[in-house]
Amino acid sequence: MQTNSISKISSLKAIDVHLSTFCRLLLIAVAVGTFATAAIAADRPGFEENGDEHWVATWGTAIHAPDLGVPGLANTGFNNQTLRQIVHTSIGGHKVRVRLSVFGANALVVGAAHIALSAGGAAIIPASDQTLTFGGQPSITIPPGALVLSDPVNLDVPPLSNLAVSIFVPGQTGPAAWHFEARQTLYVSPQGDFTGSGWMPVDSTIPPMLSWFWLSSVEVTSSRDTGGIVTFGDSITDGTQSTPDANKRWPDQLARRLMDDPGNQKLGVVNKGIAGNRILHDILGPDAPARFDRDVLATTGVTHVIVQLGGNDIFTINPTEEVSVDQIIQGHRQLIERAHAKGLRIYGCTLTPVEGFLVPGTPFPVFTLAKEAKRQAVNAWIRNSGEYDAVIDFDRVLRDPDDPARILPSYDSGDHGHPTDAGYKALAAAIDLRLFSDEN
């Protein structure tokens, strides 16, 4: 993020001032300049006085409350069990800390927590295991709606690697805050604290889940010129239909491109997509403006935002929640203004085709010609208005040239709304890495 430079003193007009008075004025000027510089730097999330390094999020997700009214989107929580959760890093570092969030759910007692390098499945590399503490204590109670930050621990975190974060909850949690569409296997133990176990036993009576619980970000120390990208979107960003446990979502593949490009600045990439998310109405998780501060602006080290939102606002089957093109554009403008107010660069993605897509679990198609006309109108604004700092044309990547309202068959996962792994890779490949260079 760019900061305003401190104004220089242009001249000293009082030539006949006594030397001692001049020295006092000079010391005051230096002190004021130093204070102002620190204040500007501190305005950037993740700033800490720490030499040449600061904290940057290497992984993250958007935590939301369980939808207790929708079958399949609710959970009953856990009781005296350990959850081992696998996350895939973008950048590396030699110190690490985690954020836990209960979002809008009940208070949560964390009895113990560990972090380690994953050895695959429910196993860790034992020599890498580190106990996490919170204000120096191994356990903590998180109040309703709050989040907590662990104390830093020394751990050499490689870029593009898998970490295992293990959390023991000593009592009955009730329905738990989570990220439903993680596309990553969750490992849940029988009753007991297995946070430090090299291989954690798994409770075979619990149905397999591809979700994360309470874990909202993992942060590492990195050089002070390292920034972060938050990808903010719906199921296309969340990676719906991508291969589980394979990290084939487009934000993951963007992170790999950035790490493989020797001439490009290395940046953390954090995925804050929520399947079904909208700009103007809540659905699975709050609407985009309601979660923008928490999921984007509060992300440690963020410098860039990529927005991929609006399709679910258009292709709703609820007639009471239909919105106009102007209302969607107004919502996008709010995100742009709020990002610019914090000095972030923000890029807009065009909306991808959905003809043939059915609402999951129903026979209801979302597509109509009138709604397709809205999609085209929103895309025209994203492409041509100049209000986003740059445009990433996802529609052009996925659409079938012979039928632009449909996904190209070779990229269609089969549900006619979400791409295959190859389609997600093509989306990542369409992003110009120069958008993240120092010169941009």
Residues 240 and 199 in one domain: no
Residues of the chain above pLDDT 90, percent: 78
For residue 296, give the nearest of 252, 249, 338 by alpha carbon: 338
Tell whether 254 and 351 lie within a shared domain: yes
23 inside domain? no
- pLDDT value, residue 262: 77
103 and 196 co-located in one domain: yes
Within a domain: 39: no
One domain, residues 184 and 281: no
Percentage of the chain beyond pLDDT 70 is: 86
H/E element, 397: helix 394-398
Give start and end residues of each alpha helix (H) in 240-368: 250-260, 288-292, 311-314, 325-341
Please say whether the beta carbons of 111 and 117 come within 8 A: no
Within-domain flag for 28: no
| 36, part of any domain | no
What do you get for the CA distance between the two ends of the chain, in Å? 11
163-185 confidence digits (pLDDT tens):
999 999 999 999 999 999 999 99
Is residue 209 in some structural domain?
yes
Query: Containing domain of residue 201, as a range?
Result: 57-215
pLDDT in tens, 313-342: 999 988 899 999 999 999 999 999 999 999
pLDDT, one tens digit per residue, over 362-392 is: 778 899 999 999 999 999 999 999 999 999 9
Residues 148 and 266 in one domain: no
CATH number of the domain where residue 130 is located: 2.60.120
- Do 93 and 234 reside in the same domain of the chain? no
| Residues 118 and 232 occupy one common structural domain | no
Q: Is residue 165 part of a domain?
A: yes
Q: Are residues 292 and 316 in the same domain?
A: yes
For residue 405, the model assigns a pLDDT of 98
Closest CA to 305 of 216, 395, 228: 228
Q: What is the domain-level CATH number for residue 258?
A: 3.40.50.1110
Considering the domain boundaries, does residue 105 fall inside one? yes
The domain boundary, picked from 215, 249, 265, lies at 215
In this structure, the answer to whether residues 164 and 230 fall within a common structural domain is no
Tell me which amino acid residue 325 is: V
| Residue 14: predicted pLDDT | 34
pLDDT confidence band for 17 (50 / 70 / 90): very low
pLDDT at 27 over 70: no
User: Which residue, 338, 430, 352, is CA-closest to 390?
Assistant: 430
Taking alpha carbons only, the member of 149, 294, 157 closest to residue 230 is 294
Indicate whether 174 and 243 sit together in one domain.
no
- Give the other-Cβ count within 10 Å of 128's Cβ: 16
CB of 375 within 8 A of CB of 311?
yes
Residue whose C-alpha is closest to residue 355's, from 315, 396, 413: 315
Task: For residue 9, tell me if it sits in a domain.
Answer: no
Asked if residue 394 and residue 360 are part of one domain, the reply reads yes
Q: Compute the Cα dihedral for 257, 259, 260, 262 and give only its sign.
A: positive
Q: What is the DSSP letter of 392?
A: E
Distances (CA, A) of 129 to 123, 144, 161, 193, 433: 11, 29, 15, 15, 35
Contacts of 46 (CB under 8 A, 6+ apart): 54, 55, 56, 57, 219, 228, 300, 301
Residues 168 and 286 grouped into a single domain: no
Ramachandran category for residue 403: left, alpha or beta (phi over 0 → left; psi -120 to 50 → alpha): beta
d(C-alpha 294, C-alpha 288), whole Å = 10
* Closest C-alpha among 342, 179, 357 to residue 273: 179
pLDDT in tens, 49-63: 457 899 999 999 999
Choosing from 156, 190, 215, the residue where a domain stops is: 215
Burial 25-39 (b: 16+ CB within 10 A, else e): eeeeeeeeeeeeeee
How many domains are there within the chain?
2
Q: Which residue has the tokens 């089957």?
A: 317
Per-residue model confidence as pLDDT tens digits over 176-216: 999 999 999 999 999 999 999 999 999 999 999 999 999 99
Out of 152, 186, 215, pick the residue that ends a domain: 215
* 302-308 sheet: strands from edge to edge: 267-271, 227-233, 302-308, 345-349, 390-392
Query: What is the reported pTM?
Result: 0.88
